[in-house]
Structure 1
Amino acid sequence: MRQESVVLSFETPGRGFTEITQAVADWLDQTGITQGLLTLLCRHTSASLLIQENAAPAVRTDLAAWLDCLAPEGRHYRHDDEGPDDMPAHLKATLTGVNLQIPVIGGRMALGSWQGIYLAEHRAMPHHRQIAAHLIGE
C-alpha cells in the first residue's frame, strides 16, 4: 500500500464553479497508483467542492441560483467582516461540503459519465484556492 499527497492551487474568477477534474486526473496519473481511494479537501471556509454534471452548464447556473436563495446576501448577518458576501459564502460552503472521497479504479477516478469535480467559489471576488489531495492505494 502506498500513499501520495499534494496541495493543488487554483485561481477562481469569483463566484461560480471552476472544473478541476483534469488537474486532479493529471496528478493522479503522475502517482502511478491504479487502485485506491482519493480524498480531496478544500482548505477554505468560503469555497467548497462538488461532484456535479459537467455536460449542461445550466445545471451549475441553477445550482448557483438555488444556493443564492438559501443563503442570500444582506445586512441580516452578524458576521460581515469581509463584506456582504462573507457569511453567505460560509453558509454555502457548509451546505455543499469541503471534502470528497473518490474511488480510483484502473488508474482513473471512478466518476460517472456526466460527473466532474468542481471548486465552488462562493465569494464575489477572485481568490487563490488550495485543494489538499491524498491518495492511498497500490
Structure 2
Amino acid sequence: MRQASHILAIDGTGSGLTDITAPIVRWSEAQDMREGLLTIFCRHTSASLIITENAAHAVRHDIEAYFARIAPEDANAYVHDDEGPDDMPAHLRTALTGVNLSVPLIDGTLTLGTWQGIFLFEHRRRPHRRSIALHLMGA
C-alpha cells in the first residue's frame, strides 16, 4: 500500500463554482497507482467541494441560485458577521455541502462519471486563495 499527498492552491475570483477536476486528475495520474481511494479536503469554513454536472453551465447557475435562496445574505438573520454580510451565509452553505470528497481510483483512473466534475464552491464574494488537500492511498 502506498500513499501520496499534495496541497492544491486555487486562486478564486469570488463566489461561485470553479471546476478543479483537471489539476486533480493530473496529480492523481502522476502518482502511478492502479487502485486506490482519493480523498479531497477543502481546508476552509467558507468554501466547499461538490461533484456535479460539468457540461451544462446552467446547472452551476441553478446550484448557486439555490444556495443563495436557502442561505441568503440578510443582515437581520444572523449574529455572526465578523467578515461582512456574506460571512455567515458562507458558513451555512459550507455546512450544507461539505468539505471532503472521496473518489475511487480503478485501473489508474478516477472513477468520475461521464458528466461529473469536481468543483470548489466558493461562498464568499471576495476572491480568496483556497487550499485543497489531496491524499491518495492505493497500489
The question of a shared fold, defined as TM-score above 0.5 by the shorter chain, is answered with yes
The alignment status of 1:66 with 2:66, answered yes or no, reads yes
Q: Percent identity?
A: 56
TM-score (norm 2): 0.98
Partner of 2:111: 110
CA offset at residue 126 of structure 1? 0.5
Instruction: Write the letter of the residue equivalent to 2:23.
Output: A
- Kindly report which structure 2 residues correspond to 1:1-138, keeping only aligned pairs within 5 A, or say none: 1-75=1-75, 76-138=77-139
CA offset at residue 93 of structure 1? 0.4
Give the number of equivalent residue pairs: 138
Per-residue CA shift, 1:3-25, capped at 9, x if unaligned? 00011100111000110000001
CA offset at residue 29 of structure 1? 1.2
CA offset at residue 107 of structure 1? 1.1
Per-residue CA shift, 1:4-51, capped at 9, x if unaligned? 001110011100011000000110111111110000000000000000
Structure 2 regions of 5+ residues with no counterpart? Answer: none
Q: SS where residue 67 of structure 1 aligns?
A: helix
Structure 1 regions of 5+ residues with no counterpart? Answer: none
Instruction: Write the letter of the residue equivalent to 1:136.
Output: M
Equivalent-residue separation in structure 2 for 1:29 and 1:101 (angstroms): 16
Q: Report the RMSD for the aligned CA atoms in angstroms.
A: 0.5
Equivalent-residue separation in structure 2 for 1:46 and 1:108 (angstroms): 30
Q: SS where residue 83 of structure 1 aligns?
A: coil
Equivalent-residue separation in structure 2 for 1:48 and 1:3 (angstroms): 24
Instruction: Write the letter of the residue equivalent to 1:78.
Output: V
